[in-house]
Chains A and B, each alone.
Chain A
Amino acid sequence: NAGVTQTPKFQVLKTGQSMTLQCAQDMNHEYMSWYRQDPGMGLRLIHYSVGAGITDQGEVPNGYNVSRSTTEDFPLRLLSAAPSQTSVYFCASSYAPRPTRQETQYFGPGTRLLVL
């Protein structure tokens, strides 16, 4: 199993450009999520999905869109990049958001995004 994969590893954008961060998992996990990590801080939830066709907002959703057409893929779209979106982005997945160890989220390697 590859686990959770993310592409690209690193990206530089200009203000106003759009792009899609890709995330895929091969563990048949129901739950997928996107977090961002800013310097000196823990991760903050952007969007999440409890299954194909179902998405919802997290703590910091503004400026980002998501969709989930398959169980495996959960892309994150930046609509019009801003310097404040410079961050490291992590995708994660788990079996299910239930009160057991099955809710443990496994993370991808991250995407470093620099917006100029």
Chain B
Amino acid sequence: AQKITQTQPGMFVQEKEAVTLDCTYDTSDQSYGLFWYKQPSSGEMIFLIYQGSYDEQNATEGRYSLNFQKARKSANLVISASQLGDSAMYFCAMTSVTSYGKLTFGQGTILTVHP
């Protein structure tokens, strides 16, 4: 079984500052994928970034980067230069070799960006 834990129910950040959203995961599989999704108040699920367990470098997608620390089983999302439009719910999720395609989600973190 796999598990995702997001310990920050809510986070606040000032516009233009960077923010880190925490995610820890638990799996006994050696091969797995980690994902971050954004859910704005309109409700859709928007894919942000992917990290494979065998990727040697941390993933980056524009202002999003994933701080992957395999030994600590953490996959924190870093948003640089926050914008008002970044205010949303953020979900960390994973699949693993025994359950590819079956996303397991954390409970999410609500990010609020202040002007």
Contact = CB atoms under 8 A, between A and B. Distances in A.
Interface of A: 31, 33, 35, 40-45, 48, 50, 58-59, 88, 90, 92, 94, 97-101, 103-107, 109-110
Contacts of B44: 107, 109-110
Contacts, number: 71
Interface string B24-59: 000000011101010000011111001011100000
Given A42-B4, A42-B93, A105-B101, 14 more contacts: A33-B101, A33-B102, A35-B103, A41-B107, A42-B91, A48-B101, A59-B102, A97-B95, A97-B101, A99-B97, A99-B100, A101-B52, A103-B33, A103-B101
Contacts of A106: 47
Contact of A97 (B45, B100, B105): B100
A99 B107 contact: no
B101 A94 contact: yes
25 contacts: A33-B101, A41-B107, A42-B4, A42-B105, A43-B45, A43-B91, A58-B102, A92-B103, A94-B101, A97-B100, A97-B101, A98-B100, A99-B33, A99-B52, A99-B53, A99-B100, A103-B100, A105-B47, A105-B101, A105-B103, A106-B47, A107-B45, A107-B46, A109-B44, A110-B44
